[in-house]
Chain A
């Protein structure tokens, strides 16, 4: 793995030297993520087991799905006795936004071998995507793949372990406390957005417009999942006008030759 990897489907080479350092850097960056994921994962575990789902199934869902919001929703639906097909369809709709997010993210990772990108795609959740995207904005070169790996592994580990812990703790934690922990997911999103919005009013505006569109769609009766998807797409379009246009010179200097950023 150290050294250069030449891609057969592109003329760029991805420098893989220093990949362990990049993974470590990604895991360090994942610490706020881990800190955010653990209360959410625990509250998911608590909720799932208290709903009557076995510990095995609770953790299996975290391992196989790895998408917080849809897991909460699925647990809710299972508790209500809703049928299998509806649960699976609802999961698809709610998580479909990851398709859009990954269009954005994978656009930054073209220098990476295809199979590696495919493997990474499993581990992209909203928060991991957000941290990764902002790192992409910050870094001088192309987005570091191994950084993303460290980030995703940190997040995935925290999510699975937290779910297990929550399931085990479910007998001790009263349901009242569990419900107040549900804000944790939103607090994490806010914690990711506000610093970026503080640095750039454009970011705040894009997010605000998107939030407005989402509210509108939801009021009109669109489901949760589709509202988020459409608002993300439409709100993102304002970026076409709001984000500064690159000059041609800057475009070319972004041809990926280096892999490490620091």
Chain B
């Protein structure tokens, strides 16, 4: 039962930060520069999410994540569908792990 309460609290603390901006941005009219800032947020977020996180896929072995990431970058650059990007990188990681 305690686990369910933990999960419910996790849900609440996750939902509230997602909800608040609805009310904040409703009344707020931003200056042009702040608008550009918000437009850049998606790309900045992706950058911060990918790196350095990807290095920690395998504890102490950043090359595993780097290999997977490199393959993903190449496949994405070639404009392959995200399905191939994901499975390609999983295959790369499994290969590297096999040889370790």
Nearest CB in chain A to that of B86: its residue: A187
Pairwise interchain contact A84-B83, C-beta atoms closer than 8 A: no
- A183/B18 in contact, CB under 8 A: no
Q: How many chain A residues touch B (Cβ–Cβ < 8 Å)?
A: 98
Please name all residues of chain B whose beta carbon is closer than 8 Å to the beta carbon of A182 when the two chains form the complex: 57
Contact A180 B94 (CB under 8 A): yes
Residues of B within 8 A of A98 (CB): 14, 17-18
**Considering the complex, which residues of chain A in the window 76-97 have a beta carbon less than 8 Å from any beta carbon of chain B?**
78, 84, 87-89, 91-92, 95-97
Complex CA–CA separation, A258 to B35 (angstroms): 21
- With both chains docked as a complex, state the minimum distance between the C-beta of A244 and any C-beta of chain B, in angstroms: 9
Write the nearest CB–CB distance from A67 to chain B, whole angstroms: 5
Query: Is A122's CB under 8 angstroms from B73's CB?
Result: no
Q: How distant is the Cα of A213 from the Cα of B13 in the complex, in angstroms?
A: 26
Instruction: Check if A236 sits within 8 Å of B18, measured CB to CB.
Output: no
Shortest C-beta distance, A55 to chain B (Å), equals 12
The 8 A CB mask of A117-130 against B (1 = contact, 0 = none) is 11001101010011
Task: Bits for A142-178, please: 1 = Cβ < 8 Å to B, else 0.
Answer: 0000000000000000000000000000000000110
Q: Determine if B47 and A211 form an interchain contact, defined as CB atoms under 8 angstroms apart.
A: yes
Q: Which residues of B contact A121 (CB under 8 A)?
A: 15, 18-19, 21-22
Closest Cβ of chain B: how far from A147's Cβ, in Å? 16
Residue of A nearest to B84 (CB): A191
Contacts of B13 in A (CB 8 A): 88-89, 91-92, 95
Complex CA gap A166/B89 in Å reads: 20
Bound CA–CA A36/B81 (angstroms)? 11
In the assembled complex, the Cα of A60 lies from the Cα of B3 at a distance in Å of 10
A14 interface residue per 8 A CB criterion: no
Q: List 27 A-B contacts (CB under 8 A).
A: A35-B86, A88-B6, A95-B14, A103-B24, A103-B41, A106-B26, A114-B26, A117-B22, A124-B18, A126-B49, A180-B93, A183-B54, A183-B89, A183-B90, A183-B92, A183-B93, A184-B90, A187-B89, A192-B46, A193-B46, A209-B44, A209-B47, A210-B44, A211-B48, A214-B51, A239-B36, A239-B41
Further 13 A-B residue pairs, CB within 8 A, beyond A180-B97, A191-B82: A74-B6, A88-B9, A133-B42, A180-B93, A183-B69, A187-B82, A189-B46, A203-B43, A210-B45, A232-B41, A242-B40, A243-B40, A245-B32
